[in-house]
Amino acid sequence: MPQVTLVEITREDVRRWCRLAVAPEQERFVASVAVSISEAHFAPEAWFRGIAADGEPAGFVMLSVKPDVPEYYLWRFLIDRRFQRSGVGRAALEQVIAHVRALGATEFLTSYVPGEGTPGPFYEKLGFAPTGVVDDGEIVLRLALA
């Protein structure tokens, strides 16, 4: 099990992070790192980090953080195909959950595209539960933090 850390992405290494890739059949579940960082440029609520495994770029996470609403949303989450199914996703998401909890959130939301190979079961293993809401075809999940 590699050591998993959340790291800041810099001007110097952003291109390395943009090379992260999911399997072709997973591309419908998540936008690329490059698109996500581009969107973050226009979204003051965006917070993102690289997910490193033993210091190597292995994944990417982006949140939407709106303390005034309040709303804390897991907006993008991906593990590069070479690092999947080795516990990196779980270790990273546990650290993200701790971060959101430290911000004072009482719940953490996300959503996923249903279908073959969907990340839904992964989120449910981490404690997220369906809210019953379907937003633009995506199943909305909630993790209670209180």
Ligand X SMILES: CC(C)(COP(=O)(O)OP(=O)(O)OC[C@H]1O[C@@H](n2cnc3c(N)ncnc32)[C@H](O)[C@@H]1OP(=O)(O)O)[C@@H](O)C(=O)NCCC(=O)NCCS
Residue 55 in 3-state DSSP?
Answer: coil
- 13 vs 124 by CB, closer to ligand X: 124
The residue number with the shortest CB distance to ligand X is 89
Least distance to ligand X from the beta carbon of 20, Å? Answer: 9
| Positions that interact with ligand X (CB under 6 A) | 22, 26, 29-30, 77-79, 84-90, 112, 117, 119, 121-122, 125
CA 57/CA 7 separation, integer angstroms: 9
Compare residues 65 and 96 and give the one whose CB is closer to ligand X: 96
Q: What share of the chain is helix, strand, coil (3-state, %, to 5)?
A: 30, 35, 35
Shortest separation between residue 144's beta carbon and ligand X, angstroms = 19
Residue 15 is inside which H or E element, if any?
A: helix 14-18
Cβ atoms of 59 and 78 within 8 Å: the answer is yes
Given a contact cutoff of 8 angstroms between Cβ atoms, the answer to whether 77 and 90 are in contact is no
Residue closer to ligand X by CB (options 122, 142) is 122
**At its nearest, how many Å lie between ligand X and the CB of residue 109?**
11
Q: Which is nearer to ligand X, 50 or 89 (CB)?
A: 89
Minimum CB separation from ligand X for residue 70, in Å? Answer: 21
CB-based contact 71:106 (threshold 8 Å): no
